[in-house]
């Protein structure tokens, strides 16, 4: 056993042979010494040493040669053994394995591959993309860790390989396999070993889980109180009728509905029903519109907020509540569908109904006064290219802030010609010296306790100074335009009332309930009245009881309609600008007037003229909506107006614009005028198709 262990050590045999050869040489030398004279013995010793060295070299080379031969034979035997094992493993493997050459020809495949291809024929020599939706080149180029997504095609004969219809159908197949490529070569010829991982069960399970995901929503009946204001005794009947429609609608989708407050409902259902709801654009709203109470022609409307987002149930509920708030801020009668990817809007085709009470206005005024009192200073700004409603509401909030005893400044663009007359009138007064500042100066006034109040705009892209909004920690928004999306930095307080005629109307209500009688100077009252006159087109559009109530309050504070209208005086140059729009008008779809002006040298004054031209186009017989387009520098400005039958805000939302039901606008930078015109016509066509 000891001898076996000794000879099993590396080089043991070689060392033994070398020692034996040395002993043999010594014996031969001893025999020669005993039989020879001393001089001959010395010469023989030298010869023996030389022979010994030569012998050791020969033994070393001999062992090296035989060792290489033995190792090579062992490696070949081992390679053959592993090749046999690998081939047998791939043949028996449950996962499909295919080997292809550089051109995609199949050179080998296992039984699992033949089964997934449903091949009753031999696959050798066939091209891989005859049986699946990918080529070898595509699979090789993929760096996805789990492999390239591939779908197996139905069994087809090779001559269908280039069939156009077949190639179109193959792209519609579900890609439930992930194919991983491993490159190797045989005799310097490259091959690809493709390992197929079947994801069908996983995809099916993921789809099942996605369909079973919980969707939370809120439903609010918008205007039932307004519809029933003269027939309150029929409230229970109308409420029961609406609840019956909603209960049947949610029951058909295996969902749950609960009324948690008067006219407010919480709904829960599975996400698998969303595709159908979105396809028919939430037709439940149209069904609710059919409800009539008494002799009223006003339709009952509902607002809905749905949240299909990841997270816990409380997080889904919070997202659904935010979606409902957004629906109400946009005027109601619509569905706001909130997902991880963004927000979608459905409905909103009826005009907002103005609330009869001013409770919300009074509550908001109290909250705003508390916030102002806690601030070190207040900055007030409107939107770019300010109009009388924007500057008027800013001046009104300035008086409200002054009444609260906190220093305030109004951020304006001194070079804006549209408000030059207004600014000149107020800058002459001692109490307004230093009040109006530009955006850079306003940023120098910002502290950690500064409050920013934004009037007549809720879209950051249209703020007078977006950078000022981003650097102030606390802000408040007061607006009457429909909200178009979520703000990057949510305001601490927000008062968006799309049913109001103007922001000046909202501010006038706040002043009426906060300031003592007679505390509002005549100039401020005139400007607020001018803001209302502008957005209502002289009380002919989007007016309600509260609109006239605000005008009555301003009149009692000294406002004069004639003095307010003096603020709209037009210079001869502005009059000529408006006339240029009216010389290039087309009537589209028999009910829509589109005026276009694309001439070099257009300025901001032309943008204002476009808005006035859109107003005048509504006086044309048969015109229900008007659009005026003008290019200023690299931006095309669109001003839209409506008689009240068409929602121009929904039309321009498709062009990244927004506004109000019958007053809206959009700006497209770097787009040719002809392209903008085609986009506008397409948006009009889509909107008209939805409402018919």
pLDDT per position as a tens digit, 411-447: 998 887 778 888 888 888 888 988 999 999 999 999 9
Q: Residue 391 pLDDT more than 90?
A: yes
658 contacts: CB under 8 Å, gap ≥ 6: 459, 481, 482, 484, 649, 652, 664, 665, 666
pLDDT of residue 78: 43
> 572-582 and 604-617 are packed helices; what angle lies between their axes, rounded to 10 degrees?
60
Which part of the chain has CATH 3.30.450.20?
Answer: 97-203
Q: What is the pLDDT of residue 65?
A: 58
Give Cα 437 to chain centroid, integer Å. 36
pLDDT at position 166 is 47
- Output the pLDDT for position 5: 45
The H-assigned helical ranges of 177-294 are: 200-211, 224-227, 235-251, 274-279, 284-289
Of the candidate CATH numbers 3.30.9.10, 3.10.310.30, 3.90.1150.10, 3.90.180.10, the domain formed by 573-691 belongs to 3.10.310.30
φ, ψ at 405 (rounded to 5°): 80, 25
Burial status of residue 292 (CB atoms within 10 A of its CB: 0-12, 13-18, 19 or more): middle
Tell me where in the chain the CATH 3.10.310.30 domain(s) lie: 573-691
| Dihedral of alpha carbons 423, 425, 430, 432, sign | negative
Radius of gyration of the chain (CA): 43
CATH of 359-566, one of 3.30.1490.100, 3.90.1640.10, 3.50.50.60, 3.40.50.300: 3.90.1640.10
**Tens digit of pLDDT for each residue in 561-573?**
988 888 887 777 7
In total, the chain counts a number of residues equal to 692
Tokens of 516: 């003592």
Residue closest to 499 by CA, chosen among 353, 638, 629 = 353
Cα–Cα dist 426/297, whole Å: 46
- How many angstroms separate the CA atoms of 438 and 473, rounded? 19
Please report the pLDDT score of residue 664 as a whole number.
87
Kindly report, as residue ranges, where domains of CATH 3.90.1640.10 are found in the chain.
359-566
Predicted pLDDT of residue 416: 79
Class of domain 97-203: alpha beta
pLDDT greater than 60 at residue 584: yes
Q: For residue 466, give the DSSP letter.
A: H
What's the confidence (pLDDT) of residue 409?
A: 96
Residues of CATH 3.30.70.270 domain(s) within the chain? 216-347
Name the fold adopted by 216-347.
Alpha-Beta Plaits (3.30.70)
| Segment 116-168, tens digit of pLDDT | 876 566 788 888 888 888 888 889 888 888 889 888 887 544 434 444 444 55
335 phi, psi to nearest 5 deg: -110, 130
Backbone angle region of 456, left / alpha / beta, with phi > 0 → left and psi within -120 to 50 → alpha: left
Q: Considering only 170-184, 195-209, 318-332, 508-522, which range has the smallest mean pLDDT?
A: 170-184
């Amino acid at each position: 056993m000891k001898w076996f262990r000794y000879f099993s050590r590396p080089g043991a045999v070689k060392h033994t042979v070398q020692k034996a050869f040395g002993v043999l040489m010594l014996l031969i030398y001893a025999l020669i010494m005993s039989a020879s004279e001393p001089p001959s013995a010395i010469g023989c010793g030298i010869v023996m040493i030389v022979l010994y060295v030569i012998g050791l070299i020969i033994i070393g080379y001999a062992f090296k040669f035989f060792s290489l031969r033995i190792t090579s034979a062992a490696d070949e035997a081992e390679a053959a053994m592993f090749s046999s094992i690998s081939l047998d493993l791939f043949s028996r493997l449950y996962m499909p394995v295919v080997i292809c050459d550089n051109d995609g020809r199949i050179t080998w495949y296992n039984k699992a591959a033949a089964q997934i291809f449903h091949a009753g024929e031999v696959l050798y020599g066939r091209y891989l993309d005859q049986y699946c939706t990918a080529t070898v080149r595509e699979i090789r180029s993929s760096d996805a860790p789990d492999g390239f997504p591939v779908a197996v095609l139905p069994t087809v004969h090779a001559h269908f390989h280039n069939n156009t219809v077949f190639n179109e159908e193959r792209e519609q197949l579900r890609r439930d396999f992930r194919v991983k490529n491993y490159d190797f070569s045989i005799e310097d010829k490259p091959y690809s070993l493709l390992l197929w991982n079947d994801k069908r069960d996983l995809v099916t399970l993921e789809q099942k889980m996605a369909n079973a995901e919980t969707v939370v929503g809120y439903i609010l009946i918008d205007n039932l109180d307004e519809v029933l204001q003269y027939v309150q005794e029929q409230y229970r009947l109308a409420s029961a009728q609406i609840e019956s429609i909603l209960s049947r609608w949610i029951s058909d989708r295996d969902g749950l509905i609960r009324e948690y407050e008067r006219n407010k409902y919480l709904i829960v259902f599975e996400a698998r029903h969303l595709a159908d709801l979105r396809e028919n654009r939430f037709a439940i709203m149209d069904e609710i519109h059919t409800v009539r109470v008494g002799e009223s022609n006003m339709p009952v409307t509902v607002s809905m907020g749905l949240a299909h987002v990841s997270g816990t149930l409380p997080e889904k509920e919070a997202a659904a509540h935010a979606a409902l708030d957004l629906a109400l801020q946009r005027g109601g009668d619509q569905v706001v569908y909130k997902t991880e990817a963004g927000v979608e809007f459905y409905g909103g085709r009826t005009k907002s109904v103005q609330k009869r009470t001013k409770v919300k206005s009074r509550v908001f005024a109290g909250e705003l006064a508390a916030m102002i009192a806690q601030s070190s200073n207040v900055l007030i700004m409107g939107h770019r290219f300010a109009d009388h409603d924007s500057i008027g509401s800013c001046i009104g909030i300035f008086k409200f802030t002054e009444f609260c005893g906190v220093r305030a400044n109004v951020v304006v663009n001194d070079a804006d010609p549209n408000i030059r007359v207004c600014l000149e009138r107020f800058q002459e007064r001692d109490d307004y010296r230093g009040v109006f500042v530009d955006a850079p100066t306003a940023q120098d006034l910002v502290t950690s306790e500064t409050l920013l109040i934004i009037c007549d705009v809720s879209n950051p892209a249209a703020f007078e100074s977006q950078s000022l909004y981003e650097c102030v920690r606390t802000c408040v928004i007061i607006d009457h335009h429909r909200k178009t999306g979520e703000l990057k930095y949510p305001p601490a307080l927000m008062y968006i009332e799309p049913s109001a005629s103007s922001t000046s109307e909202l501010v006038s209500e706040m002043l009426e309930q906060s300031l003592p009688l007679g505390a509002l100077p005549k100039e401020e009252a005139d400007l607020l009245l001018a803001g209302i006159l502008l957005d209502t087109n002289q009380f002919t559009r989007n007016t309600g009881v509260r609109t006239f109530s605000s005008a009555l309050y301003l009149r009692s504070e000294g406002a004069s309609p004639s003095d307010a209208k003096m603020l709209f005086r037009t210079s001869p140059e502005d009059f000529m600008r408006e006339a240029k729009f009216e010389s290039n008008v087309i009537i589209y779809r028999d009910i829509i007037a589109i005026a276009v002006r694309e001439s070099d040298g257009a300025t901001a004054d032309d943008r204002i003229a476009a808005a006035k031209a859109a107003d005048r186009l509504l006086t044309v017989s048969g015109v229900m909506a008007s659009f005026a387009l003008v290019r200023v520098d690299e931006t095309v400005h669109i001003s839209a107006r409506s008689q009240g039958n068409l929602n121009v805000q929904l039309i321009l939302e498709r062009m990244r614009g927004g506004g109000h039901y019958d007053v809206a606008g959009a700006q497209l930078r770097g787009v040719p005028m002809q392209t903008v015109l085609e986009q506008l016509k397409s948006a009009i066509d889509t909107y008209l198709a939805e409402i018919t």
